[in-house]
Amino acid sequence: MEPMIGMIGCGNMGRAIVEGILKAKVAKENQIYAANRHLEKLSDLAERGIKTAGNLETAACSDILFLAVKPHLYQEVIEEIRDVVKPDVIVVAIAAGISIQTVKDLFQREIKVVRAMPNTPALVGEGMSGISFDTLLNEREKKMIIKLFQSFGEVQVVEERLMPAVGSASGSSVAFVFILMEAMADACVKLGMGREQAYVFVGQAVKGGAAMMLETKKHPGVLKDMVCSPNGTTIAGVKALEQAGFRYAVMDALDACAKRTEEMAQASSTVKKR
């Protein structure tokens, strides 16, 4: 029998995962339970045949249960559902800074946990997820979880200690790419281009650059050099970026994300001991 998939919390990330799974046809609408604080926000999902329900029903019916609420709500939600989940349920925790051990401690028993860090491009099947497995999952279960994550993008299994880096590298970095594209489009508007047209130009440039790096596997510095003609236009722009401390700003931003993940992990492990 196909596993039932539950999603507690259907906001930006929960929805992106549900849509990604459906788009890839890895599960049908009637195999998915979706819960939210304000259930009326899920009326569009219900109309499409997804089972929308409260947290208790969703938890009780799921074989794979995603917890896609904000990190500070994990304790409240797990305390609500811990007595109704199936004994063999696989809980997938996607919150920044919530460790496998914290989830187990909140359930107050041995439970199969996957810690994952996906990102919002899952919505269009272009997600990037890092996942770490608890030792309780067997090989068949690990394969099933990997297949699920592959339905909405790329996935790599990583050691749990690397989760703050994964959060920086793909979870948060998409926001920085959006800021970059917005700023580039602003510049194009300043140069006389229409805004909608600017988004197409800069969006395709970012998409093309990413595809080029991933497909050629060339060092990004080499690819950058291929664009910079001697005494040309690009190298003039590179100088301006270096002057503004672009690389430092980017490194500092990813560093800040990872530090914040560690802080949140610290806070969540303290809360559960109260």
Ligand X SMILES: NC(=O)C1=CN([C@@H]2O[C@H](COP(=O)(O)OP(=O)(O)OC[C@H]3O[C@@H](n4cnc5c(N)ncnc54)[C@H](OP(=O)(O)O)[C@@H]3O)[C@@H](O)[C@H]2O)C=CC1
Ligand Y SMILES: O=C(O)[C@@H]1CCC=N1
Residue 8: which of ligand Y, ligand X, none does it interact with, CB under 5 to 8 A by kind?
ligand X
Q: Which stretch binds ligand X (CB under 6 A): 115-123, 143-151, 193-201, 266-274?
A: 115-123
**Which residue's beta carbon is nearest to the bound ligand Y?**
171
Q: Which stretch binds ligand X (CB under 6 A): 11-19, 102-110, 204-212, 222-230?
A: 11-19
Identify the CA nearest to 90 among candidates 29, 147, 129, 168: 147
Residue 155: which of ligand Y, ligand X, none does it interact with, CB under 5 to 8 A by kind?
none
Residue 129: which of ligand X, ligand Y, none does it interact with, CB under 5 to 8 A by kind?
none
Of 4, 18, 64, 77, the residue at the interface with ligand X (CB under 6 A) is: 77
Q: What is the strand order of the sheet 51-52 is part of?
A: 51-52, 32-35, 5-8, 64-67, 90-93, 112-117, 127-133, 153-157
Identify the CA nearest to 96 among candidates 271, 259, 251: 259
Q: Which residues of this protein are in contact with ligand Y, per CB under 6 A? A: 96, 167, 171-172
Residue 114: which of ligand X, ligand Y, none does it interact with, CB under 5 to 8 A by kind?
none
Which residues have a Cβ under 8 Å from the Cβ of 149 and sit 6 or more positions away?
A: 116, 118, 127, 129, 131, 155
- Binding residues vs ligand X (CB under 6 A): 8-14, 35-38, 41, 55, 68-71, 73, 76-77, 94-96, 117-120, 171
